[in-house]
A and B are shown apart, each in its own frame.
Chain A
């Protein structure tokens, strides 16, 4: 997935959320009163605030901020490397007492990470990022990644895997840094500190960098946060924290085990030298809040918060809502699975007067979308009671409307349902879909040939003949990689009219299939030892080798959405039965907003497929006429690369091939495959090519090369094209090239031309030219057809692990793939 494609995906999801009026909102209040905010003319109780102790309205803190402004103005504009206002010194002294360790104040936590990490981590070190560590830590890590510091990702909170990585890396790196959050901002779960401290004691070059932003002030007798509440800082540990949440003043801090380390970061941490300082108002307020922490005034606030958290947990249990958060934290995450449920739920609860947040991709896997809300000490039990009751009412109401069983949500989150099941949803579901009839089968032999081929008459490789070849080729092979499962679904309306037809395949695919070439190159090196490295089971609309519109859907039917619902239910069953990691619904037109919304609501994100090339409306009769249709530039290209060598080539298309000929053609295919990483798929098996060779709708174009004396330069062809004769289109599916002749005789280009000429000779008006080699194909007048796919990834880990491989100085794809939505 390219940077552009990823940003487009996130942009699409954010735009959709904005359209649904649940993201990028603005308050209308001129003055806030308590925990109410007004949005779109509606007064709402705010369940989205991270100011967990509600200190922002504390009179003394506000007065302290005002006094600091009166004393120092609205800002003290000087680098701290030169001079800091008096408030800094006193604040850092107080904080060092709170944390019982040397502390530096930073303008924000993000800048704190950017100051500390490049100073603490050297090029001889390795970093292991927890899969869910906050985006701001990942951003800072990118700074050292650019200096070739080794960075890896480990599954969230998996201490067994972390220890394995420590053991693997410790001999080769001076220090190993594990970077994690104290309390995670999405699911509200916590780092397993006892186990991490045990690892710190066990491995002498293991270090821990932890962001405790969401724990600050809420835990510890002095409000020192979750991480340091019950223990002192470890000698090889650094804690970053935030004043922009429960501390309520803005700013951040870094806590170190030694004064020397603190001073080094103060001296050398870029943002601490060059970025602006905290404003006097924030510093004044922070000093007052620090006093409250030291004096114990903070305790009643902490207690109120814990009481509210306890009550919320009780209410969620009583209302049987699937809450994923841990019991101590103020962050709650209600599992809803599909975005459409979350959008509706947030909207309806908002209409009842409560503001909640959306937890969606890239912060969480898209099928693990949820409603995230926070509790503060300002909430009353009455507010919590009413909000949870509203959420429960609408939650189950929406599940009924959407015919979704609560069980499927628990399954999506891999948790068991602690509550008794009901059969209501199942009954509703059966009633709703009873108007439609559907046929599901795992072989094309069971499908009505005429009906299927009529539905896909405009597609080249999706007719029953092509699918027969695929089924035969990709079953009973020795290697599991070459065995696919086929799934066919046809849905008919009450008059037995076909409204949906499609096929899907389950195959093992490379996780980097659509990623940057640089990444695939790195991974392929590891696959030399382990061919299954970073591979997973993928469910794909169509198959890994076919292209075109694999979904026939009659959108003029009033039942088309119900038919799609049936398809999604079938997909869900296949996903569950085959342990699918990635689902790709591909080859859709990019501009279809109707599908965009539908797929996004059902838990798929959109991304741009590599460009597909098509040559359309062939009207020329011979080479001269074709040449005349080309632009001046393309004519030059055609003369230099095609006409110049055309007398050296002979095209052969045979009715039958010997095994040796097929093996030679296959070898040429392998030459191309080994060079191509743009769409990084597994190499197709020889059996597929053997079946192609004996199928009358497939043909193999073989180009033989001769010198000027008519002597064959190679016994075997120098290029082969594997083409399918569809009903309307001629499809150039695969190519093989002998690269030893390519530079001098433009074998690949000659093959492109011969494919086009062959299509014309057979009477085809359109040629599907396939993906990749866009510039080459455009030289022959092929046009780009932009297509998109909708993807669902069960677990973001793989996506992010691939993201960590994109070093900023090596790849165009250094974008942070998570947490684009700020939280």
Chain B
């Protein structure tokens, strides 16, 4: 059963990651400032970004995409997806 974006946001990081693992569809990945690896997923009927902190070896954020323009940031990163 699907969650809405608002319901998804009620949960903590650990739970959100569980949802991503269970129901998320990986789309693209991008690197931000050499420190963060950010992955875009489609989950239920919305999109989320999963932020991985490279130096700290841990996922630090899972947030719904609120601005669709953010997709444009992934155009270069399509290569990353193909090579991953």
**Inter-subunit contact A318/B1 (CB<8 Å):** yes
Residues of B within 8 A of A311 (CB): 11, 15
A residues 359-378 near B (Cβ < 8 Å) are: none
**Chain B, residue nearest A389 (CB):** B1
**Most chain B C-beta atoms within 10 Å of own C-beta, residue among A315, A381, A382, A389:** A381
Closest 6 CB pairs of A and B: A307-B15, A318-B1, A381-B18, A382-B22, A315-B1, A381-B22
Say if the beta carbon of B3 comes within 8 Å of chain A.
Answer: yes
B residues 5-22 near A (Cβ < 8 Å) are: 7, 10-12, 14-15, 18-19, 22
Residues of A within 8 A of B18 (CB): 380-381
**Inter-subunit contact A319/B22 (CB<8 Å):** no
**Inter-subunit contact B15/A381 (CB<8 Å):** yes
Known: A310-B11, A318-B1. 13 other contacts (CB 8 A): A303-B14, A307-B12, A307-B14, A307-B15, A310-B10, A311-B11, A314-B7, A319-B1, A380-B18, A381-B22, A382-B22, A385-B1, A389-B1
Residues of B within 8 A of A388 (CB): 1
A380–B7 alpha-carbon span in the complex (Å)? 17
State the Cβ distance, A328 to closest chain B Cβ, in Å: 14
**Chain B, residue nearest A385 (CB):** B1
A319–B2 alpha-carbon span in the complex (Å)? 11
**Inter-subunit contact A381/B19 (CB<8 Å):** yes
What 0/1 pattern do residues 381 to 396 of A give for CB contact below 8 A with B? 1100100110000000
Say if the beta carbon of A565 comes within 8 Å of chain B.
Answer: no
State the Cβ distance, A391 to closest chain B Cβ, in Å: 12
A residues 285-329 near B (Cβ < 8 Å) are: 303-304, 307, 310-311, 314-315, 318-319
Residues of A within 8 A of B3 (CB): 314
Can you give 11 contacting A-B residue pairs, CB < 8 Å?
A303-B14, A307-B12, A307-B14, A310-B10, A310-B11, A311-B11, A314-B7, A315-B1, A318-B1, A319-B1, A380-B18
**Chain B, residue nearest A300 (CB):** B14
A310–B6 alpha-carbon span in the complex (Å)? 13
Main secondary structure of the interface of B (DSSP, over half): helix
A657–B14 alpha-carbon span in the complex (Å)? 88
Residues of A within 8 A of B7 (CB): 314
Q: Which residues of A approach B to under 8 Å, CB–CB?
A: 303-304, 307, 310-311, 314-315, 318-319, 380-382, 385, 388-389
State the Cβ distance, B39 to closest chain A Cβ, in Å: 19
A314–B9 alpha-carbon span in the complex (Å)? 13
A303–B12 alpha-carbon span in the complex (Å)? 9
Residues of B within 8 A of A319 (CB): 1
Residues of B within 8 A of A380 (CB): 18, 22
State the Cβ distance, A442 to closest chain B Cβ, in Å: 48
A28–B36 alpha-carbon span in the complex (Å)? 48
Interchain CB contact (< 8 A) of B11 among A307, A315, A318: A307
**Chain B, residue nearest A382 (CB):** B22
A319–B3 alpha-carbon span in the complex (Å)? 12
State the Cβ distance, B80 to closest chain A Cβ, in Å: 28
A388–B22 alpha-carbon span in the complex (Å)? 16
Residues of A within 8 A of B10 (CB): 310
State the Cβ distance, B72 to closest chain A Cβ, in Å: 32
A729–B53 alpha-carbon span in the complex (Å)? 91
**Chain A, residue nearest B11 (CB):** A307
State the Cβ distance, A307 to closest chain B Cβ, in Å: 4
Residues of B within 8 A of A318 (CB): 1
State the Cβ distance, A347 to closest chain B Cβ, in Å: 23
State the Cβ distance, B13 to closest chain A Cβ, in Å: 10
**Inter-subunit contact B1/A304 (CB<8 Å):** no
A389–B1 alpha-carbon span in the complex (Å)? 8
Residues of B within 8 A of A315 (CB): 1
A304–B12 alpha-carbon span in the complex (Å)? 9
State the Cβ distance, A368 to closest chain B Cβ, in Å: 27
Residues of A within 8 A of B22 (CB): 380-382, 385
A260–B10 alpha-carbon span in the complex (Å)? 46
In the complex where A314-B3, A319-B1, A385-B1 touch, is A304 in contact with B14 (Cβ < 8 A)? yes
A304–B13 alpha-carbon span in the complex (Å)? 11
A311–B10 alpha-carbon span in the complex (Å)? 10
**Most chain A C-beta atoms within 10 Å of own C-beta, residue among B12, B15, B22:** B15
**Chain B, residue nearest A380 (CB):** B18
Residues of A within 8 A of B12 (CB): 303, 307
State the Cβ distance, A778 to closest chain B Cβ, in Å: 65
A319–B7 alpha-carbon span in the complex (Å)? 15
Residues of B within 8 A of A310 (CB): 10-11
A311–B14 alpha-carbon span in the complex (Å)? 13
Residues of A within 8 A of B15 (CB): 307, 311, 381
State the Cβ distance, B62 to closest chain A Cβ, in Å: 13
**Most chain A C-beta atoms within 10 Å of own C-beta, residue among B1, B10, B19:** B1
A304–B22 alpha-carbon span in the complex (Å)? 16
Residues of B within 8 A of A303 (CB): 12, 14
A389–B2 alpha-carbon span in the complex (Å)? 11
**Most chain B C-beta atoms within 10 Å of own C-beta, residue among A303, A304, A307, A385:** A307
A443–B10 alpha-carbon span in the complex (Å)? 60
State the Cβ distance, A332 to closest chain B Cβ, in Å: 16
Residues of B within 8 A of A304 (CB): 14
Residues of A within 8 A of B19 (CB): 381
A382–B18 alpha-carbon span in the complex (Å)? 9
**Chain B, residue nearest A316 (CB):** B1
Residues of A within 8 A of B11 (CB): 307, 310-311
Residues of B within 8 A of A385 (CB): 1, 22
A311–B3 alpha-carbon span in the complex (Å)? 10
**Chain B, residue nearest A307 (CB):** B15
A526–B14 alpha-carbon span in the complex (Å)? 61
A304–B15 alpha-carbon span in the complex (Å)? 8
A389–B22 alpha-carbon span in the complex (Å)? 15
A381–B12 alpha-carbon span in the complex (Å)? 13
**Chain A, residue nearest B16 (CB):** A307
A311–B1 alpha-carbon span in the complex (Å)? 11
A315–B18 alpha-carbon span in the complex (Å)? 15
A355–B7 alpha-carbon span in the complex (Å)? 27
A303–B10 alpha-carbon span in the complex (Å)? 13
**Chain B, residue nearest A315 (CB):** B1
